[in-house]
Structure 1
């Protein structure tokens, strides 16, 4: 997916006033996501993202352990100035739903297998319980 198309989708889904807001959310969420994905799955996802975002995904923030979805949202809020858990949930969902579209169904399923329960909703792909 191209840079402009990716950011336009994030901006539309996140209802951001500017592309800069969408980019800030995307950079933060992808840096945190990269810390939770490993191996071939992370590499495949990076190959489907714009180059700048692929680099962010492949050089992630360090995570000691996989964060449950609610803690992932709180971590996102901590990295975005002025964000609350509610706005961070919006940011995460806007970015991860575009990531899911770029990844496609099979790769998104494999991504979700590497993440703790609860991320399916953030990706916009609810899984049956």
Structure 2
């Protein structure tokens, strides 16, 4: 299933409890740009194919990351890119976006995504994995 832009953004807005669509849009753009820097190859392409075009392009043209960020550093980086954000609000932003991304991906694709990321991202995607 490929999400329409409005449906994707509505889901992010609802999960993030944002007052405006612009707040949800800003969170989605920042988180997807950072996520794209951590995914590669077919995994990134398959995920992009399930997202609305505007967000797929952000995922496919990511911010550059010298090394994979731990979940905590990913949240910190998100807070640095969103004006006025704190680590607490950035955690909320990341979870709102990544849980919506998890809904766009099937279980197999989500497993492949999590394999490319450092341990702990399963919680940010709202899909805790058994240890």
TM-score, normalised with respect to structure 2: 0.98
When the two chains are superposed, the root-mean-square deviation of aligned CA atoms in Å is: 0.4
Poorly superposed stretches of 4+, deviation over 2 Å: none
- Aligned residue for 1:116, secondary structure, equals coil
Deviation, 1:128, is 1.0
Among residues 28, 40, 43, which one is paired with 1:41 in the alignment? 43
What's 2:124 paired with?
122
Deviation, 1:35, is 0.1
What does 1:45-124 correspond to in 2, within 5 Å?
A: 45-124=47-126
TM-score, normalised with respect to structure 1: 0.99
Structure 1: any 5+ residue segments left out of the alignment?
Answer: none
Spell out, residue by residue over 1:12-34, the C-alpha distance to the aligned partner (whole angstroms, 9 max, x if none): 00000011100000000000000
**Pairs aligned (count):** 129
Structure 2: any 5+ residue segments left out of the alignment?
Answer: none
Aligned equivalents of 1:120, 1:49: Cα separation in 2: 19
